């Protein structure tokens, strides 16, 4: 078992090359309620200031900038995962109200709330008796 083998984890295989450092695809849960689409992404190591969320032309981009965590003077004995930015894009179309997107970051999990546009929210139609 050498260090080179250990770095070949499944995540780095899916890494998207950007700039000089690799970026990783965070695993995501997406669920939908009548009022919103909610998205939870794992971005361990990110703080709120490191998160960049952009919504443009129906495309949502999540980016978490992760600064390298290295202990001074330490050498790697076994490195099983790589450390780098998390980036992921989603196509949302025009069903989302872009002005009311909100997000929170708790223990390395980023939750993005995407409220549905009023036009597509389910409406209950009252039937009037004549």
Partner 1 sequence: MLNRTLFPLAGLEGMRREMNRLLGNALLETPFTQAYPPINLWETDDALIAEAELPGLTMDNVELLVMGDALTLKGRRIAADHSGANVHRSERATGEFVRSLTLPLAVNPDAVEATLKDGILTVRMPKSAEARPRKIQVKGL
Measure the CA–CA gap between 63 and 52, rounded to whole angstroms: 5
Least distance in Å: CB of 5 to partner 1? 9
Tell me how many residues contact partner 1 (CB under 8 A).
37
Task: Note whether 43 and 33 are within 8 A (CB).
Answer: no
Q: Measured at the alpha carbon of residue 55, what is the angle toward residues 51 and 58, in degrees to the nearest 5? A: 145
Q: Please tell me whether residue 10 binds partner 1 under the rule CB under 8 A.
A: yes
Q: Which of 16, 18, 27, 102 binds partner 1 (CB under 8 A)?
A: 27
Place of tokens 């689409």: 37
Stretch that binds partner 1, among 14-22, 30-38, 52-60, 116-124 (CB under 8 A): 30-38
Q: Please tell me whether residue 52 binds partner 1 under the rule CB under 8 A.
A: no
Measure the CA–CA gap between 14 and 32, rounded to whole angstroms: 26
Q: Please tell me whether residue 107 binds partner 1 under the rule CB under 8 A.
A: yes
Q: Which of 73, 99, 118, 126 binds partner 1 (CB under 8 A)?
A: 73
Q: Please tell me whether residue 42 binds partner 1 under the rule CB under 8 A.
A: yes
Q: Please tell me whether residue 17 binds partner 1 under the rule CB under 8 A.
A: no
Q: Please tell me whether residue 81 binds partner 1 under the rule CB under 8 A.
A: yes
Q: Please tell me whether residue 13 binds partner 1 under the rule CB under 8 A.
A: yes
Q: What is the CA radius of gyration of the chain?
A: 20
45 sits in the region (left: phi over 0; alpha: psi -120 to 50; else beta) called left
78 φ, ψ to 5°? Answer: -145, 115
């Amino acid at each position: 078992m050498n260090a080179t083998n250990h770095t070949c984890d499944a995540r780095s295989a899916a890494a998207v090359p950007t700039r000089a450092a690799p970026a990783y695809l965070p695993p995501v849960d997406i669920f939908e309620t009548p009022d919103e689409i909610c998205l939870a992404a794992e971005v361990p190591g990110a703080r709120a200031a490191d998160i960049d969320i952009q919504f443009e032309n129906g495309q949502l981009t999540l980016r978490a900038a992760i600064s390298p965590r290295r202990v001074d003077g330490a050498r790697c004995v076994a490195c099983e995962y790589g450390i780098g930015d998390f980036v992921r894009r989603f196509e949302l179309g025009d069903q989302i109200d872009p002005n009311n997107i909100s997000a929170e970051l708790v223990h390395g999990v980023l939750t993005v709330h995407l409220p549905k546009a009023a036009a597509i929210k389910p409406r209950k139609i009252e039937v009037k008796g004549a």
